[in-house]
Amino acid sequence: MSSDINATTAAKNEVVTTLISTLNDAQCQAVTTPAQSVLVLAGAGSGKTRVLVHRIAWQIQVRNVSMHSILAVTFTNKAAKEMRGRIEALLQVSARAMWIGTFHGVAHRLLRSHTKQAKLPDTFQVMDSADQLRLIKRLLVTLNLDEDKWPPRQIQWHINAQKDEGIRAKDCIAGYDLYQQNLLKIYQAYEALCERSGLVDFGELLLRAHELLRDNPDVLRFYQQRFNQVHVDEFQDTNAIQYAWLRLLTQGQDNIFVVGDDDQSIYGWRGAKIENIYSFQKHYPDHQVVKLEQNYRSTGMILKAANAVVANNEGRMGKALWTASADGDPIALYAAFNEQDEAYFVVERIRSWFNDGGKYSDVAILYRSNAQSRQFEERLMTAAIPYRVYGGLRFFERAEIKNALAYLRLIANRHDDASFERVINTPTRGIGAKSLEDMRTIARELAISMWSAMMVLLDQGHLSGRANNALLAFAQLIKNLDQLVEGSELYEKVQLVIEKSGLLEFHEKEKADKGDEKVENLKELVNAARLFDFDSNLEGMENLSELDMFLAYATLESGDMQADDFDECVQLMTLHSAKGLEFKLVFLVGLEEGLFPSQQSLDDVGRLQEERRLCYVGITRAMQYLYLSYAESRRLYGRESYPRPSRFLREIPAECIQEVRLRAEVSRPVTAIKPKSASLQTAGQYRLGQRVSHVKFGEGVILQTEGAGDQERVQINFRQVGIKWLMLAYAKLDVL
């Protein structure tokens, strides 16, 4: 008997050892602490996911917590997937029973499990932001509001912002401000429309999930007791409603384990509240703070630069990354003549990296705004270097896919107005603006769905023969599809719908190139349906049909399909989408005032600090080599600008930076610039892009030259005083 106990103790000790043997002290502390509420401040590259994964494993293996009692929330499906995968790899078991998902995914699951208490119809569907925008546009028409005075995108932004703050239309106080009153009216009408269409937008998922717990004590108690500890990834990105939801769930027990980094908070503009980290310490008084500061990713030089930049921010929790590895190469800084030269330089370096045996997939070009990608794409293209740009249209967001899904949604829920409007005349079947307008009026007046309105219209029989037939045919089509599809496999349903709806034919007839791709995508959709892993036993989702599950999946996990092909390509992406990734060789480009930091953030301290954190994120993506660059002259929005180098460059210690220059002839081939005349190419010894020094104005770069002989003038961008025209005959310039 006692030997049995000894044996299990020994076994347990071994488990403990394997779990923590690979962790450093701080990580180990975070994983093993008995504290109920824990705040892990995890610097970039400090093993944040590792801690989260090991903590969960620790609960299960050492504290004998049931997998059923594990909840972990992330922001992206990618992160959730990775976490699940790593836990499974570590524990060598299926992590199916654990609730690991995005905030939206978990909220969705809760709502499906408790549709009654959440006051939702069983058939409710999730709509994405494109659907939402469509719905809003339509709403504006019915409310007789001019789209120019009420820009749909701003309305959408406003509604989402309210929801992110947990504010319903009934909680709004508009006062006497006419504008506010109208906004409120729109918000109210939008809520009503969603209600009768059975549609739930992304913000609504979170808001409803919060209200579900808040207003149903028994439901709340059930989940409070069920989850042993609530784990949260990227805590600095939580918004007000997400945090409120977490607080409800952990109320009384304070069983919450959050991991975050205040220095990497870059989503303030979409409602993330960095303050939640500070509030956490107030709301959970017995919490323990663990700082992870050892970095396993970058060289000493890169970390030094990153630390120095972010040190310029106020009100930080305070953290300094360090590494046990070497200083590495200094950070290279390239002052490009213009944006084309910048791209040329970067691509040249990538080429030599590859020639020296480096892999393309280890290289990333990071920029502040998407518009910057073009120059690099063009250069990479001519250099025949494979590349991939992040952030394009995702699979489930493509028009043809959304069309197909809209038919499926209409089959699942006839009152889904967003889907109805999308497919009523796609492919074209002779239902014009007039008939639509009539339906909208009826729908509004009777407060019914468009589908019901169509039925009313058909019953009335006031329509012209042609319109009547067209509508009748459409109604019949949907009903037929519904019957036809009954009882068949999911992929067969998809297949049948794209064929019988005429969508396939519609896209086949389209202009050669484009249509082909769309047809391919539609086939891919059938394939996705075939591969769809429908887990009918998934707790809480028992009542959901496979089709409903697939539709929810398409909306909530639309990014899933493009994530995998990382292979052998140079990666181009914005700084925002680079968060969480790492690359051996990183180019951080466009470091110019007005571009990065962006123009819009220059006059606001808070936003500027967020830009700085973005810079910190960018720098810390690099493992071995980091190149920074800026252009002396940049063509942006059709206008030539001469930006000053970014302030962030000055915040990096000089000893970390080494200026680099390609040989002049190589860096500016004649084709790279568009001279206005041949004589502009050179001005004696003064070439375009030549660095010069002036007695009074200091250092600068030659941008343009004009005239000849005594009349020759040069335009110079001085670092200190900006752009100046100087007469060559008088200016005393030294070539640098």
Q: Is 113 labelled a binding residue?
A: no
Q: Could you tell me whether strands 99-102 and 70-74 are parallel, antiparallel, or unpaired per DSSP bridges?
A: parallel
> Is 163 within 8 Å of 461 (Cβ atoms)?
no
Which 342-361 residues touch DNA, going by CB under 7 A? none
State the DSSP H helix or E strand holding residue 367, giving kind and residue range, or none if neither.
strand 363-367
Q: Angle at which helices 433-446 and 129-142 pack, to 10 degrees?
A: 80
CA of residue 71 relative to chain centroid, distance: 23
540 is in an annotated binding site: no
Q: Contact with DNA (CB under 7 A): which of 85, 217, 318, 430?
A: 430
Piece in contact with DNA (CB under 7 A), picked from 43-51, 70-78, 455-463, 721-729: 70-78
Please report whether residue 288 would count as binding DNA according to CB under 7 A.
Answer: no
- Annotated catalytic residue 603: no
What's the min distance (Å) between Cβ of 98 and DNA?
A: 18
Is 684 among the annotated ligand-binding positions? Answer: no
Q: Considering the candidates 74, 250, 264, 495, report the single residue annotated as catalytic.
A: 264
Cβ nearer to DNA, comparing 456 with 477 = 477
391 makes contact with DNA (CB under 7 A): yes
524 in catalytic set: no
- 46 marked ligand binding residue: yes
d(CA 661, CA 656): 17
With contact defined as beta carbons under 8 Å apart, do 470 and 430 qualify? Answer: yes
Q: 373-390: buried (b, 16+ CB within 10 Å) or exposed (e) per residue?
A: bebbeebbeeeebebbbb
The one-character DSSP state at 144 is T
Pair 396, 555: CB distance under 8 Å = yes
Q: Is 180 a catalytic residue?
A: no
**Binding residue (CB under 7 A) for DNA from 49, 325, 369, 641:** 369
Q: At what angle do helices 152-164 and 129-142 cross, to 10 degrees?
A: 120
Query: Which string of x and - marks every residue 125-154 that binds DNA (by CB under 7 A)?
Result: ---xx---------------------x---
Single out the segment in contact with DNA by CB under 7 A; choices: 23-31, 317-325, 411-419, 424-432.
424-432
Taking the C-alpha atoms of residue 576 and residue 573, their distance in angstroms, rounded to an integer, is 8
* Residue nearer to DNA on the CB measure, 79 or 498: 79
Considering the complex, state which of residue 422 and residue 576 has its C-beta at the smaller distance from DNA: 576
Q: Which is nearer to DNA, 58 or 630 (CB)?
A: 630
Using rule CB under 7 A, residue 590 touches DNA: no
Question: Cβ closer to DNA: 328 or 618?
Answer: 618
- Single out the residue of 61, 123, 325, 370 in contact with DNA (rule: CB under 7 A): 370
Q: What is the DSSP letter of 380?
A: H
- The minimum distance between CB 299 and DNA, in angstroms, equals 26
Does residue number 487 form part of the binding site for DNA (CB under 7 A)?
no
Binding segment toward DNA, per CB under 7 A, in 290-298, 460-468, 596-604, 692-700: 596-604
Nearer to DNA, 121 or 594 (CB): 594
47 is in an annotated binding site: yes
Buried b / exposed e across 635-644, counting CB within 10 Å, b at 16+? ebeeeeebbb
Q: Which of 449, 403, 430, 428 is nearest to 457 (CA)?
A: 449
Rounded CA separation 319/291 (Å): 7
Long-range Cβ contact pairs of 271-279 (< 8 A, separation 24 or more): 271/160, 271/161, 271/164, 271/165, 271/239, 271/240, 272/236, 272/237, 272/238, 272/239, 273/238, 273/239, 273/240, 273/243, 274/236, 276/235, 276/236, 276/238, 276/243, 277/39, 277/235, 277/236, 277/317, 279/243
CB atoms within 10 A of CB 61: 17
Binding to DNA by CB under 7 A, coded x per residue (else -) over 322-341, reads --------------------
CA dihedral 356, 362, 363, 366 (to 10 degrees): -160
Residue selected from 39, 556, 617, 623 as contacting DNA according to rule CB under 7 A: 556
Q: Which of 212, 119, 110, 211 is nearest to 168 (CA)?
A: 211
- DSSP lists the bridge partners of residue 727 as 713
SS3 of residue 122 by DSSP: coil
**37 versus 276: smaller Cβ distance to DNA:** 276
Compute the least distance from the CB of residue 675 to DNA, in Å: 16
Nearer to DNA, 82 or 524 (CB): 82
Tell me which of 234, 262, 342, 421 is the catalytic residue.
Answer: 234
**Interaction between residue 104 and DNA (CB under 7 A):** yes
Q: Is 158 in the site for DNA (CB under 7 A)?
A: no
Active-site annotation holder among 27, 29, 48, 261: 48
Asked if 641 interacts with DNA (CB under 7 A), we say no
User: CA–CA distance from 260 to each of 436, 517, 691 (Å)?
Assistant: 49, 41, 44
Among 283-291, 594-602, 615-623, 676-684, which window interacts with DNA (CB under 7 A)?
Answer: 594-602
3-class DSSP state for residue 69? helix
d(CA 166, CA 213): 13
635 lines the binding site for DNA (CB under 7 A): yes
With respect to DNA, which residue has the nearer C-beta, 116 or 149? Answer: 149
The reply on whether position 265 binds DNA by CB under 7 A is no
Q: Is 234 a catalytic residue?
A: yes
On whether 336 is known to bind a ligand per the annotation, the reply is no
Binding residues: 42-49
Q: Name the residues that contact DNA, by CB under 7 A.
A: 75-78, 102, 104-105, 128-129, 151, 202, 269-270, 368-371, 390-391, 425, 428-430, 432, 556-559, 573-574, 576-577, 598, 600-601, 607, 635, 637-638
Binding residues for ATP: 42-49
Catalytically active residues are 48-49, 233-234, 264, 621
